[in-house]
């Protein structure tokens, strides 16, 4: 049979809006039936990005596979395999392809616009029972060996140096500061014009919202 396996057609990929709050209703049970690697859902309202997040055993498999396991050039949005799936790390890294049709993280570099940032300074990570709200504090393009991809910090001082680097790298000042008490999510996608560069958006955890049962 000829199935449409574009991300839009994968079951469980279109959660209903919860009208009064504007939050999504994500059916994690359904998603985990499709693939137990699904650990979260990401929503970036300013870019109309809304996708399940998977975590594989490496950082390669989901570059080329949908959450259904189908081979597909768009891949999936996925968390670095070194990270804790419950977003408890100091820096959680989320990857997605920069697709020419704008899917996946194809629009992430629109955060080069400070006006877009002013209108939409937040993105959201949904996990079972909670919504994590992140306030964006730094956006820029950087080489693939940039310290942004650090996930292990032996000391708080190491983490402070890391945060200073992220803020210093920013293309514009967001006016949002980060401290060693903050937890960060780093969003990463390719820069189509430069193979050795990535476009990065960093957010700090602003609040955890408990979902009503």
190 in catalytic set: yes
CB-based contact 128:134 (threshold 8 Å): no
Q: Which two tokens stand for residue 153?
A: 């910090």
Nearest partner of 149 among 137, 136, 162, 138, judged by Cα: 162
Q: Parallel, antiparallel, or unpaired: how do β-strands 49-54 and 16-18 relate?
A: unpaired
Q: In this structure, how many other beta carbons lie within 10 angstroms of the beta carbon of residue 155?
A: 9
Contact 144, 198 (CB under 8 A): yes
What b/e readout covers 189-202, taking b as 16+ CB neighbours within 10 angstroms?
bbbeeeeeebbbbb
Exactly one of 148, 190, 200, 201 is catalytic; which is it?
Answer: 190
Catalytic center residues: 190
């Amino acid at each position: 049979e000829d199935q449409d396996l574009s991300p839009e057609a994968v079951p469980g990929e279109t959660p209903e809006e919860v009208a009064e709050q504007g939050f999504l209703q994500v059916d994690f049970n359904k998603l985990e039936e499709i693939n137990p690697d699904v650990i979260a859902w990401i929503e970036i309202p300013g870019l109309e990005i809304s996708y399940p997040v998977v975590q594989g055993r490496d950082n390669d498999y989901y570059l080329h596979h949908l959450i259904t396991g189908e081979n597909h050039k768009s891949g999936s949005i996925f968390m670095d395999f070194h990270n804790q799936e419950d977003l408890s790390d100091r820096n959680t890294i989320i990857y997605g392809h920069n697709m020419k049709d704008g899917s996946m993280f194809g629009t992430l570099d629109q955060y080069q616009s400070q006006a877009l940032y002013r209108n939409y300074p937040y993105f959201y990570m949904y996990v079972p029972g909670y919504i994590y709200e992140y306030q964006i504090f730094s956006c820029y393009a950087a080489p693939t060996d940039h310290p942004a991809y650090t996930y292990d910090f032996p000391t708080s001082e190491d983490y402070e140096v890391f945060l200073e680097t992220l803020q210093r790298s920013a293309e514009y000042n967001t006016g949002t500061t980060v401290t060693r008490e903050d937890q960060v999510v780093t969003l990463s996608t390719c820069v189509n014009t430069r193979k050795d560069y990535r476009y990065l958006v960093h957010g700090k955890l602003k609040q955890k919202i408990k979902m009503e049962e």
